[in-house]
Amino acid sequence: MQSVIIRPKNEILKSYVQYFLFFNKSDEHFLNYTTFPNSNLCLAIYKENKITYINKNNINLCNISEGHNYKSFLYGFHKMPFNVQIDSSLDQICIIFQPSAIRAFTKESYESLMNSETVFEEIFSQDKNILDKIFDNNNFTERADELEILLLKNLKNEIPERMQQAMLMINNNPVLSLDRLSKELKISETTLFRLFKDNMGQNKHEYLILILGLMFQSLYFWFQD
């Protein structure tokens, strides 16, 4: 399977998108891979695949098989390893957003987007034929250029300043208490909770647990080496 990572060229877009990731697999041989837990939010777009995603209990599994029509899903905030099983050909595009940055392109709730298999269409509904244009082009660099144009055209809202401040404070001090964080931001704990839910799809406590878990896991693998 071929995989290519391309980072945005546009300086404005770099604040919202970490990179574009392209997967291409022309054969139908079975392939399996696993990624580590992470705090990425990925918009995954599939050209002609059926997707079965299970995320409950101790299972975080995505099965990709032969299908029809475009499918698009949001994956993110993986608290456990993400296992992917592919038993068909594959042409996939992933847009990896900066934390909370998808909010700059849509006001759709995280709950509805995370339960949808047509996320791309819900966010970019006015661009009906753009996926045909992008997937018909086999040049990954040119695909990334088209995605940049699309994203910039649909850039609607800045990430709230308090959201940016809150994430910066947490990243600098992961053990910062909810009470201290709300006082530093001069907002109530209820407002802080809503700020995280609206922009991250999870509350501050859930986000903090994920970040700390990733830190400890990184230390574990570092000592194992």
* pLDDT for 213: 46
Query: So what CATH class is 2-153?
Result: mainly beta
Separation CA 24–CA 190 (nearest Å) = 45
Q: What is the pLDDT of residue 32?
A: 94
Model pLDDT, residue 62: 94
Handedness of CA 102, 123, 119, 20 (dihedral sign): negative
pLDDT of residue 165: 78
| 144 in Cβ contact with 105 (< 8 Å) | no
Residue 156 DSSP label:
-
Residue ranges matching CATH 2.60.120 in the chain = 2-153
CA distance 79 to 99: 15
- Rg (Cα) of the chain, in Å, rounded? 18
> Quick one: pLDDT at residue 2?
94
**Beta strands per DSSP E along the chain:** 2-6, 17-25, 31-35, 38-46, 49-56, 59-66, 71-78, 82-86, 90-97
pLDDT tens, per residue, the chain with 225 residues = 999 999 999 888 888 899 999 999 999 899 999 988 777 789 999 999 999 999 888 899 999 999 988 999 999 878 788 999 999 999 999 999 987 788 888 878 777 888 899 999 988 876 668 999 999 999 999 999 999 999 988 887 666 777 777 777 776 776 677 788 888 888 887 887 777 777 666 565 666 554 444 444 443 433 344
Q: Under DSSP, is residue 219 helix (H, G, I), strand (E, B) or coil? A: helix
CA–CA gap between residue 84 and residue 127 (Å, rounded): 29
Contact 151, 43 (CB under 8 A): no
Q: Which pLDDT belongs to residue 199?
A: 63
Within the chain, all domains assigned CATH 1.10.10 are found at 161-224
* Residue 220 confidence (pLDDT): 40
Distance (Å, rounded) from C-alpha 12 to C-alpha 76?
Answer: 23
Whether domain 161-224 has CATH 3.40.50: the reply is no
> How much is the pLDDT for 214?
43
DSSP state of 97: E
pTM of the predicted structure, to 2 decimals: 0.75
